[in-house]
Amino acid sequence: MALSVDMIRDCLDGAVPAVLATCASDGTPNVTCVSQVHFVDGAHVALSFQFFNKTRENLLANSRATVMVAHPETAARYRMALQYLRTEAEGPLFESMKARLAGIASHAGMSGIFRLLGSDLYRVIEIERVPGTELPVSAPRRNLLPALRTCLERLSQCTDLAGVLEELLASLAGAFDITHAMVLMLDARGECLRTAASRGYDASGLGAEILLGQGMIGIAAQQRTPIRITHASPEYAGGCAGTPEMMIPFPGLPDAGSRLALPVIGGGLLLGVLYVESPEDLRFGYDDEDALVAVAAQLGMAIRALGDAVGDRAQ
């Protein structure tokens, strides 16, 4: 069976640095470590472009590249034959890679040195499993599909927005074992996200505000893309700083190791952000992100369906 990127995406969380080989137009090879290989879809990845270097020069002259990645638990390695397509220096892909890189940089003691200049998008031509043995994978912390089912069933029984938010946070804790979570709603002017519900914090922080585009929560909303950070990163700490006139402190963990912000969209409209975090590094992987994207989508539809004032704002 041919491998696709989704089948090996646990190798793309950066625990084991990836290596990238390119060739100059005269055929001279070049090989270098690369901070980030980002899953785009089953046939595409994006690599972090951080420095103007030989790799850059080679790619512009010869679009073929080969990257090797390793699974952080099994030690299995894969070689991906790639074709460089283009570089994105703004937008959802760029912002989500930039936030992730900030976490990687901080973890590596490279804050201020690792800086994303662009997201290099590649088509994956072929994936080869490097022959060899591998270690067993440990049991997952939770089976995410039953957790998702439980959560969505509970949300579908709710009759008002308050109930939806309460059930959401309860099932994140109960079914997903995610004990620090909050929902922020976009205000009527579409400029500010306000904490509407939270769970797992000393102070609820209800009413605490974040501007659209500010911190990882504000960027996730503005770009309408999930942002996932796998290591503590001061640049994105607390998800944000509040608005200058903010009276209510943001309730987030001061030193979260893992953070995930997901835009809540219903009927095509941005409604808010679902934000979860954990003191642990590497707590949320690609599968957790997918499951919570589905939860956020259901939340968005529930908000619209229940015709709450927040949903009416967008009318």
Partner 1 sequence: MSRTDADESLLDENNAAFIQDGVSIIAASRADANVPVLAQAVGCRVSPDHSRVTVFLARFQSGALLDAVDVTGAIAVVFSQPGSYRSLQLKGTDAVVEPLESRDKDRVRHYISLYAAEIAALGFDEMFARTMLACEPADLSAVTFTPSSAFSQTPGPGAGAPLLAAS
Contact footprint for partner 1 (CB under 8 A):
17, 19, 21-23, 25, 27-33, 35, 50-51, 53-54, 62, 64-66, 68, 70, 74-75, 77, 79, 81, 108, 110, 113-114, 130-135
Q: Of the two residues 10 and 209, which places its CB atom closer to partner 1 in the complex?
A: 10
Ordered alpha helix ranges (H), 19-81: 54-61
The one-letter amino acid at 57: E
Shortest CB 122 distance to partner 1, Å: 13
Q: Of the two residues 113 and 241, which places its CB atom closer to partner 1 in the complex?
A: 113
Which residues face 83 on adjacent strands?
Answer: 64, 123
Shortest CB 200 distance to partner 1, Å: 26
Other Cβ atoms less than 10 A from the Cβ of 10: the count is 18
Residues contacting residue 130 through CB under 8 Å, at least 6 positions apart: 68, 76, 77, 78, 79
CA distance 196 to 185: 6
Residues contacting residue 26 through CB under 8 Å, at least 6 positions apart: none
Q: Of the two residues 54 and 142, which places its CB atom closer to partner 1 in the complex?
A: 54
Q: Of the two residues 90 and 126, which places its CB atom closer to partner 1 in the complex?
A: 126
Shortest CB 84 distance to partner 1, Å: 12
Shortest CB 127 distance to partner 1, Å: 14
Strands 180-186 vs 269-278: parallel, antiparallel or unpaired: antiparallel
Shortest CB 258 distance to partner 1, Å: 16
